């Protein structure tokens, strides 16, 4: 079947199409309906069907191929490397599931996971799925303030953590951050389960904190029965930056997610059972959920969890792992490739890459020089793809498992099966033709695997995603794009205030709120500017309350953001200014700030109250560059 026929069928006959894809997973009880879309925009997939993500990812493979490698945990930070077979993974997951059960965790309870990239993090996620608990993984680098807001929203009965992670050879203590977050949070979790890696000293809280090694020893031989859950039962909550300061909890289902991931493994990533997939992301992000943990394991593949940088011990480490574990599918980010581009190219040809079929890149727009460079270096197809935390799997991609179509540099490809893509005028909602700029939108229902709602807030789900384009109930990606005559989409940037820094979605509003908390800040504006390495970087413009005390204000603002949001949200620069460009109604003209910071023409500034402000800011930026 051609790509076009395959895609058209997925849109015109969702019941038939997704009913077939559903055969890729195990159902303990068959579903009653494929799609219930009686209450748009809420899509319910495979209602009435009973299944389990852990069973599909672990148990069924442990029965069929118990001695096949399932998980490889590699840390070049601690120089530890361990491979687990499907049987061993099954045993470890049952042990932590038994710990959960012994501490009163039941179906529907939340478990927050604040972990480095170690095997126990994988066990903790799968054990939640096994018993029907809902996991919420928070990236291990997040600061206490951000962690506390997620604790208050998810209300976890238990938090699973490690005393420290490691980055660049230095221990990053997690336990003090977690203790402070629990102090800050209104909601108090009953238990903290802690993996002690021996990297950092910490203090245990009596009656609350449990030692993972000691608890594991109690349950070495326990087998915990699978909790069969309805396909619509939530599997996890994953927080993403929003256009307001409060993070949004993306709620994912169980059955639809399993089916969508299996379909994507077949049609997009083209992985096969018994092979190895290496995704260089972190479990704190959606790529880690979908293509480090669930996607490969559902598909009977080995997956590599990697703690470390692409440069340690040398710039060949990733390719060394590809050769050692015969990786066939690799998934990384353009930022990582740009980092490798600065290193000796000999590292790219030092190891045997014959097993590798394809390198997938996503997380931010892939520019032609980066794609061409890595393709020429490793002599493998480089495949862009585009998606979001909210969708859980690619929206746009070349679906090589259906039809090998030509790649177009700068484009992540064509709509994936199930996505009814539209390019709309943001003011009139009129559908646009080829080579016209508009908002990329998806007509409902969203396909399986996409978010069900915002955790605990159906109204926010509708108002945030479905009501931003006038006169239409349609999902907005909040990305500008164009589509060419062949149906390939090109992404042009965000329509809202979320920026993409090295694949991490950051709300400029959150950074502004953080900087505003500094006692000497009267006003702040944060914009995202183009960055050759990271894709985008946050730049802040601040007006001090007392300019005589502004000497160290840049460093102080950065320190404030570090402590509240974590280092990934730290602005690349903080410029101290006397005024911000505003319209007559008082709205900050952020597009003009962005243009000046990028050295571009700001365009029409006739709506600004004081047009000299931009010239003053431009001078400050130029003087700063010379200093």
pTM: 0.85
What lies within 8 Å, CB to CB, of 81 at 6+ separation is: 72, 73, 74, 75
The per-residue pLDDT for 568 is 86
Determine whether domain 3-308+387-443 maps to CATH 3.40.50.12780: yes
The per-residue pLDDT for 241 is 63
CATH 3.40.50.12780 intervals, the chain: 3-308+387-443
In 3D, which of 501, 237, 273 has the Cα closest to residue 392? 237
CATH ID of 498-626, from 3.40.50.10490, 3.90.1010.10, 1.10.510.10, 3.30.300.30: 3.30.300.30
pLDDT digits (tens, 9 = 90+) for 128-172: 999 999 999 998 878 898 899 999 999 999 999 999 999 889 999
The per-residue pLDDT for 146 is 84
The per-residue pLDDT for 243 is 46
Task: State how far the Cα of 520 lies from the Cα of 145, in Å rounded to an integer.
Answer: 20
Average pLDDT, the chain: 93
Task: State how far the Cα of 445 lies from the Cα of 14, in Å rounded to an integer.
Answer: 10
Record the tokens describing residue 18, joined without a space: 């997704």
pLDDT digits (tens, 9 = 90+) for 317-338: 999 999 999 999 999 988 788 8
Pairing outcome for strands 327-332 and 276-279:
parallel
The per-residue pLDDT for 540 is 95
In 3D, which of 354, 315, 322, 312 has the Cα closest to residue 337? 315
Task: State how far the Cα of 200 lies from the Cα of 198, in Å rounded to an integer.
Answer: 6
The per-residue pLDDT for 463 is 95
- Residues in the chain predicted with pLDDT less than 50, given as ranges, are 243-244
**Phi, psi at 520, each rounded to 5°:** -105, 20
pLDDT digits (tens, 9 = 90+) for 174-209: 999 999 999 999 999 999 999 999 999 999 999 999
CATH 3.30.300.30 intervals, the chain: 498-626
């Amino acid at each position: 079947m051609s790509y076009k026929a395959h895609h058209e069928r997925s849109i015109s006959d969702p019941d038939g199409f997704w009913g077939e894809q559903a055969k890729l997973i195990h159902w303990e009880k068959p579903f009653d309906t494929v799609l219930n879309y009686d209450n748009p925009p809420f899509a319910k997939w495979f209602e009435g069907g009973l299944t389990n993500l852990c069973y599909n990812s672990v148990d069924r493979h442990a029965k069929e191929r118990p001695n096949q490698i399932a998980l490889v945990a590699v840390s070049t930070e601690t120089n530890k490397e361990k491979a687990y077979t499907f049987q061993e993974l099954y045993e470890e997951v049952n042990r932590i599931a038994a710990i959960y059960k012994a501490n009163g965790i039941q179906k529907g309870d939340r478990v927050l996971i604040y972990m480095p990239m170690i095997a126990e993090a994988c066990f903790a996620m799968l054990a939640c799925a096994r018993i029907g608990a809902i996991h919420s993984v928070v990236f291990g680098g997040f600061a206490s303030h951000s962690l506390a807001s997620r604790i208050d929203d998810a209300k976890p009965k238990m938090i699973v953590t490690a005393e420290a992670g490691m980055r660049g050879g230095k221990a990053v203590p997690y336990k003090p951050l977690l203790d402070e977050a629990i102090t800050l949070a209104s909601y108090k979790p009953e238990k903290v389960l802690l993996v002690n890696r021996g990297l950092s000293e910490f203090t245990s809280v009596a009656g609350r904190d449990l030692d993972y090694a000691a608890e594991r020893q109690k349950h070495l031989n326990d087998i915990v029965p699978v909790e069969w859950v309805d396909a619509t039962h939530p599997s996890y909550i994953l927080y993403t930056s929003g256009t307001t300061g409060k993070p949004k909890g993306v709620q994912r289902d169980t059955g639809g997610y399993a089916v969508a991931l299996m379909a994507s493994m077949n049609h997009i990533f083209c992985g096969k059972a018994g092979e190895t997939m290496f995704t260089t992301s972190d479990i704190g992000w959606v790529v880690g959920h979908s293509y480090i943990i669930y996607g490969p394991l559902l598909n009977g593949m080995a997956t590599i969890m990697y703690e470390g940088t692409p440069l340690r011990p040398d710039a060949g480490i990733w390719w060394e792992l590809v050769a050692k574990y015969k990786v066939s599918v690799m998934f990384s980010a353009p930022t990582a490739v740009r980092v490798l581009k600065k290193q000796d190219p000999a590292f790219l040809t030092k190891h045997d890459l014959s097993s590798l079929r394809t390198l997938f890149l996503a997380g931010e727009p892939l520019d032609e020089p980066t794609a061409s460079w890595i393709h020429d270096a490793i002599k493998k197809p480089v495949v862009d793809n585009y998606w979001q935390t909210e969708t859980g799997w690619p929206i746009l991609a070349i679906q090589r498992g259906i039809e090998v179509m030509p790649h177009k540099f700068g484009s992540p490809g064509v709509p994936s099966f199930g996505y009814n893509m539209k390019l709309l005028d943001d003011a009139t909602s009129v559908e646009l033709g080829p080579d016209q700029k508009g908002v990329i939108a998806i007509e409902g229902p969203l396909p399986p695997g996409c978010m069900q709602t915002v955790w605990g807030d159906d109204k926010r789900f509708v108002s945030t995603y479905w009501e931003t384009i006038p006169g239409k109930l349609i999902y907005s990606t909040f990305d500008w794009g164009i589509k060419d005559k062949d149906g390939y989409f090109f992404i042009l940037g965000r329509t809202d205030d979320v920026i993409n820094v090295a694949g991490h979605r950051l709300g400029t509003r959150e950074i502004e709120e953080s900087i505003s908390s500094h006692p000497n800040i009267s006003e702040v504006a944060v914009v995202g500017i183009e960055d050759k390495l990271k894709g985008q970087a946050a730049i802040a413009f601040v007006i001090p309350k007392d300019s005589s005390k502004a000497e160290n204000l840049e460093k102080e603002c950065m320190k404030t953001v570090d402590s509240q949001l974590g280092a990934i949200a730290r602005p690349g620069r903080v410029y101290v200014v006397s005024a911000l460009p505003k319209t007559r109604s008082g709205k900050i003209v952020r597009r003009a700030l962005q243009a000046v910071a990028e050295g571009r023409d700001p365009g029409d500034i006739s709506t600004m109250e004081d047009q000299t402000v931009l010239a003053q800011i431009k001078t400050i930026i130029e003087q700063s560059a010379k200093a």
